[in-house]
Structure formats: structure tokens, C-alpha cells
């Protein structure tokens, strides 16, 4: 059977043999009662990695985000989000429906809030105004771009929020990709952030799972909120075992970045519109308007050759590099993409 090269997302990665072995042999207990050894070990690793007091293992990045907001805010408060963020756009209005908060979206191209605008959106409790009780960041920013937010910027946001006694939450689904791109340890990068989440099921290749790290007090609440959402899981050590394998070796993500840069360069040589400065992690955003081809036509044509990419706009396509795309595959993808666009 011909190998399908699936570049739609890094969520398509399959667990490694080491993960499957670890899952097979995992020591388990009952995580709701609190005695699943393997889950506890993963949570301790997460707390240490992010330099936070405590950590919670959840089902998904979406659940981590909801649980974080539930444990850091109260009903009818406002939270600052980016207008292009996952939390604001891709969580079934969970912020409104589950958390009962009002998002205050701020718009920018690169994921960085204008600091004056941010401060103006941190509102005080007044007769007609709900207070702002959380500032959210996303790093890497925009699941179709993978832009990295650096520590100086994150620290600026934290300084402003904290000056108003407002905590900062980082949706860090791909935060380890950001840490690698910046060549900085995650605990240092997130030094001033109050809480952070991470997806284990993206480039890290776990089958399921996310981590949420923060203060002891916050994670105490988060654990109860996870239970409310039906996220209390019993022998979850089976799944946590894969997470432990992933965290022992997370710096392999660097390979995905190298592959993405290589592929982006080759695609650009074939005439596809690519801003190399935006290829900062494992995500490539391709603009087909220079060659006047629609994203659907392009992806359909690639499909015939067993290559999958994601349509993200009329003329925009996303490709993500990950561990199941080999260096040898990259030339192949570029070659076929070139053929498809007639280069």
C-alpha cells in the first residue's frame, strides 16, 4: 500500500512503539480517587517542566482551556482573548456556554496585543461594566500560522495584567514548539504566566491528552471543574504513560521545525506563495493566489498522489510537518506540489 503523507495536522501522528509499550505496562490506579501512580508522575513532570506548583492531566486542549477559565474566573466576568484564538473561535462557544464569561476579543496580525489596547480592555467593575478577570494568550499563535510569542512580550503582558490584579493564562497547545523556536526552557518562558496548557496529542504524538499547570490553589479548583465536565477518568495511567514518554523526549519537536523549513523552501522554489519569516515552527501557510489556483483544487490534486493538506481559505492551504513525515518524504511532496501547479 502506498504511504499516505498526511500533512493536514500534527494531531494525526500515531503513538510511537515506546508509547505503546509504556501503555501496555503502565501501573494504574483510580485517578478520581487520586491514586493512579502513572497519572501522578506525568502531572509532576508537567509541573516541573512549566515551573508551576501543580498540574492536571485532562482529556484535550479544549477541556484544559475550559477548566482553566472556570477555575480562574467567575460568572459574568470578562476575559481578554485574541479574535483569532482557538478559545474564541473553535470551542463551541464554551466560554459563553460553560464558563459564563464574556470574551473581549482583540485583533492583531501577529498574535501580539497592542499593549495600550490591552490595558484599555482590562476593565474595572462599575455599575454598567463587568470586570475583566483574565487575560489569555496563545503560543504558538494561530493554528494555521504557528507564530512564536517571545518571553519579553509575554512578560510585558503579564506586567500589565498583574498591575491590575488580573492573572494571565497561556493556551499553550504548541508551547513546546515555541520554546524550541526560542531556544529557551519552558519554565523560563512561562515564568510570569499564571497558568498554561499543553496538547500531548499534537506533535508529541500521544493518542489523547493535555496538561494544565498552575498554582496549587488553581489546580485544586481545576480538578473539580474537570470532574464537573465528565473528565474524571479512572485508569487514566494507561494514557498518561504515553505522555511520560513524550515529555522525556520533547525536544525531538525540533526535527519537525527543520522539516517544515526544508519543505517550505522547496515549495517556495516551485512558485508557491510562502513567507519564510512566518515558518517559525512546524506549520506552513501557503498562499496560492500568486499562481491563481484555488485551495480546494490544489488539495484535491495532491490527494490523488496520496498527499493530504488542509484548506484554510479560498487560496490558502496549511501543511504541518510532524514525526510521521520523514525527510525523504519532503522532496516527494515538493516534487508533486510542483507538478500540480505546473512548475
Ligand X SMILES: *Cc1c(COP(=O)(O)O)cnc(C)c1O
Interaction site with ligand X (CB under 6 A): 60-62, 65, 86, 138, 143, 171, 173-174, 199, 201, 210
Give the residue closest to ligand X by C-beta: 61
We find the least distance from the C-beta atom of residue 142 to ligand X, in angstroms, to be 8
Contacts of 5 (CB under 8 A, 6+ apart): 306, 307, 308, 325, 329, 332, 333
Complex with ligand X: residue 16 or 201, whichever CB lies closer: 201
Q: What is the DSSP string of 157-208?
A: HHHHHHHTT--EEEE-TTHHHHHHHHT--HHHHTTT-SEEEEESSSTT--SS
We find the least distance from the C-beta atom of residue 192 to ligand X, in angstroms, to be 20
Complex with ligand X: residue 92 or 164, whichever CB lies closer: 92
For residues 256 and 287, the answer to whether their CB atoms sit within 8 Å is: no
The cell numbers describing 95, all together, are 466560554
We find the least distance from the C-beta atom of residue 325 to ligand X, in angstroms, to be 18
Which secondary-structure segment (H or E) carries 115?
helix 115-120
Which secondary-structure segment (H or E) carries 325?
none
Complex with ligand X: residue 89 or 215, whichever CB lies closer: 89
Complex with ligand X: residue 62 or 266, whichever CB lies closer: 62
Distance, in Å, from the CA atom of 56 to the CA atom of 78, rounded to the nearest integer, reads 24
We find the least distance from the C-beta atom of residue 185 to ligand X, in angstroms, to be 21
Complex with ligand X: residue 62 or 285, whichever CB lies closer: 62
We find the least distance from the C-beta atom of residue 110 to ligand X, in angstroms, to be 15
Complex with ligand X: residue 82 or 315, whichever CB lies closer: 82
Provide the CA 35 distance to its chain's centre, in angstroms: 28
The cell numbers describing 2, all together, are 502506498
We find the least distance from the C-beta atom of residue 202 to ligand X, in angstroms, to be 6
Nearest C-alpha neighbor of 165 from the set 202, 137, 125: 125
Complex with ligand X: residue 13 or 201, whichever CB lies closer: 201
Nearest C-alpha neighbor of 78 from the set 55, 99, 63: 99
For residues 73 and 134, the answer to whether their CB atoms sit within 8 Å is: yes
SS3 for 274? Answer: coil
The total number of residues written for the chain in this structure: 343
Which secondary-structure segment (H or E) carries 301?
helix 295-304
We find the least distance from the C-beta atom of residue 9 to ligand X, in angstroms, to be 8
We find the least distance from the C-beta atom of residue 61 to ligand X, in angstroms, to be 2
Complex with ligand X: residue 64 or 132, whichever CB lies closer: 64
For residues 241 and 22, the answer to whether their CB atoms sit within 8 Å is: yes
Amino acid at each position: 500500500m502506498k504511504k499516505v503523507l498526511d500533512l493536514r495536522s500534527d494531531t494525526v501522528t500515531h503513538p510511537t512503539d515506546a508509547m505503546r509499550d509504556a501503555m501496555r505496562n503502565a501501573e494504574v490506579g483510580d485517578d478520581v480517587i487520586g491514586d493512579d501512580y502513572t497519572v501522578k508522575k506525568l502531572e509532576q513532570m508537567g509541573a516541573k517542566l512549566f515551573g508551576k506548583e501543580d498540574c492536571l492531566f485532562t482529556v484535550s486542549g479544549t477541556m484544559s482551556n475550559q477548566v482553566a477559565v472556570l477555575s480562574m474566573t467567575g460568572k459574568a466576568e470578562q476575559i481578554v482573548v485574541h479574535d483569532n484564538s482557538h478559545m474564541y473561535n473553535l470551542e463551541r462557544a464554551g466560554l459563553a456556554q460553560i464558563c459564563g464569561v464574556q470574551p473581549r476579543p482583540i485583533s492583531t496580525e501577529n498574535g501580539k496585543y497592542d499593549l495600550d489596547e490591552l490595558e484599555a480592555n482590562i476593565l474595572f467593575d462599575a455599575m454598567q461594566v463587568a470586570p475583566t478577570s483574565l487575560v489569555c494568550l496563545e503560543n504558538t499563535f494561530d493554528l494555521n500560522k504557528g507564530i512564536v510569542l517571545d518571553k519579553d512580550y509575554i512578560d510585558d503582558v503579564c506586567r500589565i495584567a498583574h498591575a491590575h490584579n488580573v492573572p494571565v493564562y497561556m493556551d499553550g497547545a504548541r508551547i513546546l514548539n515555541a520554546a524550541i523556536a526560542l531556544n529557551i526552557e519552558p519554565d523560563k518562558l512561562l515564568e510570569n504566566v499564571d497558568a498554561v496548557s499543553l496538547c500531548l496529542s499534537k506533535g508529541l504524538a500521544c493518542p489523547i491528552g493535555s496538561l494544565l499547570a498552575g498554582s496549587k490553589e488553581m489546580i485544586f479548583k481545576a480538578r473539580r471543574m474537570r470532574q464537573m465536565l465528565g473528565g474524571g477518568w479512572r485508569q487514566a495511567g494507561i494514557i498518561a504513560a504515553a505522555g511520560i514518554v513524550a515529555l522525556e523526549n520533547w525536544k525531538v519537536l525540533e526535527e519537525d521545525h527543520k522539516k517544515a523549513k526544508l519543505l517550505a523552501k522547496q515549495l517556495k522554489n516551485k512558485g508557491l506563495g510562502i513567507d519564510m519569516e512566518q515558518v517559525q515552527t512546524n506549520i506552513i501557510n501557503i498562499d496560492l493566489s500568486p499562481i491563481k489556483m484555488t485551495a480546494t483544487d490544489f488539495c484535491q490534486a495532491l490527494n490523488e498522489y496520496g498527499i493530504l493538506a488542509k484548506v484554510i481559505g479560498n487560496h490558502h492551504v496549511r501543511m504541518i510537518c510532524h514525526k510521521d513525515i520523514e525527510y525523504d518524504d519532503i522532496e516527494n511532496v515538493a516534487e508533486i506540489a510542483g507538478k500540480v501547479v505546473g512548475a
